[in-house]
């Protein structure tokens, strides 16, 4: 039996908020779609704290929760594996968000209202509560995408996006190999280049109250240089991949 909607949520060392976030989203699904089959897919990316233990305790109690444990592969890898799981479940729509409790469930409705207008809908953190290093990377990527691809996306890597399942399947088939550091950027670029309206819908972004930000472990310039190289290399393949998506 297929699902109307699957929510993909990567998680890494979020023991202080994972129970709250999982409960918020599974309750939201239950009340927002009481007659439909939905699930929250949490990909535990090799957490070193008690995230796995807490998820295993929650799983038997929450029918619309799907938990997947994997070795640590990074946020992007966890997102990709979450998408694959959602597609394997036959999801009509796939929504992706993060487990750090920086988003509110009600903003989902802003994207859901546009699902008949576009197969790929993005939120946009108009007021973003993140460390300066992350804000810099976002601005760098926005400029790089505009320069390399001639297209402008306000928040290409935002973990608040709604994608039609059949379209996501096409996008996933064209994802670069090897898997990029931030696959959501490439999905957004391919979606826009193939003619989708992304809308860039303003959503609420809260201060992070728990956990740690993994990106600070990376050197800022290392992240920027790697992302720039991946985007530049992908430019040579983009037209062929967009034609495949449109076909």
Residue where the block lists tokens 């290093």: 133
Q: What is the pLDDT of residues 37-60, one digit of tens each?
A: 999 999 999 999 999 999 999 999
Q: Round to whole Å and give the CA distance between 81 and 167.
A: 16
Would you list the DSSP string of 13-29?
S-TTTHHHHHHHHHHHH
Query: Residue 130 belongs to what domain range?
Result: 3-246
Q: Report yes or no: 52 and 17 within 8 Å, Cβ to Cβ.
A: no
User: What residues contact 230, with CB distance under 8 A and at least 6 apart?
Assistant: 176, 180, 181, 186
Q: Round to whole Å and give the CA distance between 77 and 43.
A: 10
Q: What is the pLDDT of residues 234-243, one digit of tens each?
A: 999 999 999 9
pLDDT at residue number 76: 95
Q: Report yes or no: 227 and 185 within 8 Å, Cβ to Cβ.
A: yes
Q: Round to whole Å and give the CA distance between 145 and 132.
A: 20
Evaluate if residue 130 carries a pLDDT over 70. no
pLDDT at residue number 36: 98
C-alpha dihedral sign at 136, 138, 140, 142: negative
Residue 100's pLDDT band, with cuts at 50, 70 and 90, is: very high
Residue where the block lists tokens 């039609």: 164
Interval 73-98 mean pLDDT: 97
- What's the mean per-residue pLDDT of the chain? 92
User: What residues contact 109, with CB distance under 8 A and at least 6 apart?
Assistant: 32
pLDDT at residue number 225: 83
Q: Report yes or no: 106 and 90 within 8 Å, Cβ to Cβ.
A: no
Q: What is the pLDDT of residues 153-177, one digit of tens each?
A: 999 999 999 999 999 999 999 999 9
Which of 27-36, 127-136, 142-151, 203-212 is modeled with the greatest confidence?
27-36
E runs forming strands in the chain? 3-11, 38-45, 65-70, 91-97, 120-125, 160-164, 201-203
Interval 16-40 mean pLDDT: 98
Q: Round to whole Å and give the CA distance between 134 and 137.
A: 5
User: Which of 111-120, 137-146, 218-227 bottoms out in mean pLDDT, i.e. has the lowest?
Assistant: 218-227
Please count the structural domains in the chain.
1
162 DSSP β-pair partners: 95, 121
User: What's the CATH number where 30 sits?
Assistant: 3.90.550.10
User: What residues contact 247, with CB distance under 8 A and at least 6 apart?
Assistant: none
C-alpha dihedral sign at 121, 160, 74, 37: negative
């Amino acid at each position: 039996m297929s699902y109307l909607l699957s929510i993909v949520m990567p998680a890494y060392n979020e023991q202080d908020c994972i129970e709250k976030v999982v409960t918020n989203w599974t309750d939201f699904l239950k009340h927002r779609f009481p007659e439909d089959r939905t699930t929250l897919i949490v990909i535990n990316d090799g957490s070193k704290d008690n995230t796995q233990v807490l998820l295993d305790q929650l799983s038997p109690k929450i029918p619309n929760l799907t938990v997947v444990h994997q070795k640590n592969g990074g946020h992007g890898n966890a997102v990709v594996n979450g998408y694959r799981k959602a597609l394997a479940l036959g999801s009509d729509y796939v929504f992706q968000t993060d487990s750090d409790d920086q988003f509110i469930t009600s903003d989902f409705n802003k994207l859901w209202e546009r699902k008949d207008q576009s197969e790929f809908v993005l939120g946009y953190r108009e007021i973003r509560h993140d460390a300066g290093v992350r804000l810099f990377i976002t601005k760098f990527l926005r400029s790089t995408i505009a320069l390399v691809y001639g297209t402008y996306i306000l928040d290409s890597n935002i973990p608040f996006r709604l994608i039609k399942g059949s379209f996501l399947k096409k996008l996933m088939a064209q994802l670069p190999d090897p898997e990029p550091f931030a696959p959501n950027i490439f999905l957004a670029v391919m979606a826009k280049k193939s003619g989708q309206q992304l809308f860039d819908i303003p959503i609420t972004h809260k201060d992070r109250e728990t956990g740690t930000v993994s990106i600070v472990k990376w050197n800022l310039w290392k992240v920027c240089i790697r992302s720039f190289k991946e985007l530049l290399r992908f430019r040579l393949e983009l037209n062929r991949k967009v034609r495949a998506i449109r076909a």
